[in-house]
């Protein structure tokens, strides 16, 4: 599983617990980088080092880097998907990315074609090693009160269009979340511990149906 800041935080912690229980410690590799978008995980994309958080869970390591009393964590480079697939050879790839595309779309509403091309590159990389990844599952961004509805729909459509084109599964987080400022979280994007756990539990139900 790879993800952005949502998987660094409470949602990622709940998913880590679920995956370890479901598949066992020796069969899980989870990496999450705050601020990352799909292009940052590709060799062909720009290198991106996060200064706002990182999570790692593998058969040999368990690491979480986050803010400590207001002090930012050390910078961590986003791993490249091709390298992760070569090292861990997963049969299932779970992706939780797309939220940070919304920032770019707010600034430039015309960049959908670029993001669609990135999705093409991402799927090419995900299937670079034949016989390894047999199932790809994309967890789409949850509801946000920070981004306009139009922007959220655009990102969701980009992911679902790629899912139709490349035949991978999606779990639509927008149908199972509703961001209430001050209750769901403070910034309109990131979910507090309990709402994040509730979201993860609903995702886990769908994951069980897809991978059974």
* pLDDT at res. 131: 75
Angle at 160 between CA 159 and CA 163, to 5 degrees: 90
* pLDDT at res. 177: 98
> 32 has which bridge partners?
3, 55
Tell me the per-residue pLDDT of 42-70, one tens digit each, with 9 for 90 and over: 999 999 999 999 999 999 999 999 999 88
Tell me the per-residue pLDDT of 196-206, one tens digit each, with 9 for 90 and over: 999 999 999 99
- Rounded Cα–Cα distance for residues 190 and 144 (Å): 8
- Report whether pLDDT(129) > 80: no
- Report whether pLDDT(194) > 80: yes
* pLDDT at res. 128: 84
Tell me the per-residue pLDDT of 175-191, one tens digit each, with 9 for 90 and over: 999 999 999 999 999 99
> How would residue 109 be classed by pLDDT, with cut points 50, 70 and 90?
confident
> How would residue 110 be classed by pLDDT, with cut points 50, 70 and 90?
confident
Q: What domains are defined for the chain? A: 9-31+80-211 (3.40.50.1110)
* pLDDT at res. 42: 98
Tell me the per-residue pLDDT of 8-28, one tens digit each, with 9 for 90 and over: 999 999 999 999 999 999 999
**The dihedral sign for the CA sequence 60, 63, 48, 164:** positive
């Amino acid at each position: 599983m790879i993800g952005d800041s949502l998987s660094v935080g409470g949602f990622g912690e709940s998913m880590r617990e679920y995956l370890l229980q479901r598949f066992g410690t020796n069969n899980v590799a989870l990496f999450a980088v705050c601020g990352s978008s799909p292009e940052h995980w590709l060799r062909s994309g720009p290198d991106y080092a996060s200064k706002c958080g990182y999570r790692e869970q593998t058969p040999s390591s368990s690491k979480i880097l986050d803010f400590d009393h207001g002090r930012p964590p050390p910078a961590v480079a986003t791993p490249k998907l091709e390298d992760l697939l070569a090292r861990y050879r997963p049969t299932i790839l779970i992706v939780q990315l797309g939220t940070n595309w919304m920032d770019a779309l707010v600034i430039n509403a015309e960049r959908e074609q670029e993001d669609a091309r990135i999705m093409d590159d991402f799927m090419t990389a995900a299937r670079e090693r034949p016989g390894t990844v047999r199932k790809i599952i994309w967890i789409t961004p949850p509801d946000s009160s920070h981004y306009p509805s139009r922007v959220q729909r655009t990102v969701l459509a980009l992911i679902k269009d790629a899912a139709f084109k490349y035949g991978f599964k999606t779990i639509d987080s927008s149908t199972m979340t509703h961001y209430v400022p001050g209750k769901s979280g403070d910034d309109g994007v990131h979910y507090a511990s309990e709402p994040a756990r509730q979201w993860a539990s609903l995702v886990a139900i769908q994951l069980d149906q897809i991978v059974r």
